[in-house]
Amino acid sequence: MRKPCIFILLILITRLLTAQTDLDSLLNANLEKPDIYAYATFKATRIISGHSIERMQKHDLDFRISHRFGNINGGAYELFGLDYSSSNFSLEYGINNWLMLGVGRATYEKTFSGFTKISLLRQRDGSQSFPISISYVGGIFCNSMKWDDTTRTNYFSSRLSYLHQALIARKLNGRISVQLSPMMIHRNLVEREDDNNDIFAAGFGGRIKLTTRTSLNVEYFYILDRKNVSSAENTNPLSIGFDIETGSHVFQIHVSNAPLITENAFIGNTTGKWGNGDLHIGFNITRVFTLSGNKNEEDVPL
């Protein structure tokens, strides 16, 4: 009679002692990995000059100011290139969670531009995991310079060029992201008769986060059939830069052999060589305004 009682008591005591660890292990067993899309693959919507996989989120508006300065090897007399600058201003907006639109104006050829970026597939963890994100970028550029030769027939269509680009990115881990961006630029009017209207190029980009708020970015574009792009001897743009994020601003500062900002300009019009020190300091500043505000909050389910 006594023995079973002591036995039961012993079991009860051990159960009470292990009760907390019991609940903890139950908790761990029931806490599943979150089923979410990869976010913050890059800090901004551009890696340096080319598009990154990032979009503006729904109802976020981005005001971007970009500058590229003159040659660093101009020396102190030119303040290392800072005496000259080329710029681009743009407003970019997230329509919903897969589509963003942007409009801009660059000093180069007084170009007006517009683009759309569409998320097609998104990297995802959890039960429906997918390894990469894929987006499409379509752009149009309009040269608004006065015609050089007013004696001949000039068509409006001659002012236009187009961009089609695929962005294929993977956030490898919290620090490292990589992106492959094959692209095609079509120019309605080219410089020489033998020049190709279409330029094909492959972009490679990546970032390494140095701290939570800064990252080192690299971007390279390999242009195919470069000698048939323009009369000038073309080079492939290579840029190295830093992103510094402070809340709703991102500062992107970099060095590049490309002195121009938009795709129609830096693909095919880059002539500087890293080996010769034909480098340019440049920066982008982005300021994001959240327009959705605080109203219509989704609230407590109880």
Partner 1 sequence: MCLHLSGQSKFYSKKGFISIVSVTPVITLKGYNKKVVTFLDTANGNIVFGLNMDDFTFKQALAEEHFKENYVETEKYPQAKFSGKILNYTNLERTPQVEIPVEVQGVMTIHGIEKEITVKAVLIFGKDKIIARSELIIRPEEYGIRIPSLIREKIAEEVNTTVEVIYGPYQD
Q: Is 18 in the site for partner 1 (CB under 8 A)?
A: no
Assess 297 for contact with partner 1 (CB under 8 A): yes
**Identity (one letter) of the amino acid at 219?**
E
Choose, by CB under 8 A, the member of 7, 10, 13, 16 that binds partner 1: 16
Q: In this chain, which stretch among 32-40, 111-119, 132-140, 191-199 interacts with partner 1, using CB under 8 A?
A: 32-40
User: 10, 19, 120, 121: which one contacts partner 1 (CB under 8 A)?
Assistant: 19
Q: Which string of b and e fits 84-94 if b means at least 16 CB within 10 Å?
A: eebebebebbb
3-class secondary-structure state, position 274? helix
Q: How far is the CB of 222 from partner 1 (least distance, A)?
A: 31
Tally of CB atoms within 10 A around 79: 13
H or E segment and range at residue 106: strand 99-106
Q: Is 4 in the site for partner 1 (CB under 8 A)?
A: no
User: Is 23 among the residues that bind partner 1 (CB under 8 A)?
Assistant: yes
Tokens of 259: 């002195």
CB of 227 closer than 8 Å to CB of 259: no
Is 127 a binding residue for partner 1 by CB under 8 A? The answer is no
Cα–Cα distance measured from residue 299 to residue 302, given in angstroms and rounded to the nearest whole number: 9
Of the two residues 32 and 149, which places its CB atom closer to partner 1 in the complex?
32
Provide the terminal-to-terminal Cα distance of the chain, rounded to the nearest Å: 51
Residue 44 near residue 284, CB atoms below 8 Å: yes
Q: Binders of partner 1 among 161-190, rule CB under 8 A?
A: 173-174
Interaction residues for partner 1, span 202-241 (CB under 8 A): 212-213
Collapsing DSSP to helix, strand or coil, 282 comes out as strand
CB of 17 to partner 1, least distance (A): 11
Residues in touch with partner 1 (CB under 8 A): 8, 11-12, 15-16, 19-20, 22-24, 26-28, 30-31, 33-34, 36, 39-40, 57-58, 60, 173-174, 212-213, 245-248, 288, 290, 292, 294, 297-298, 300-302
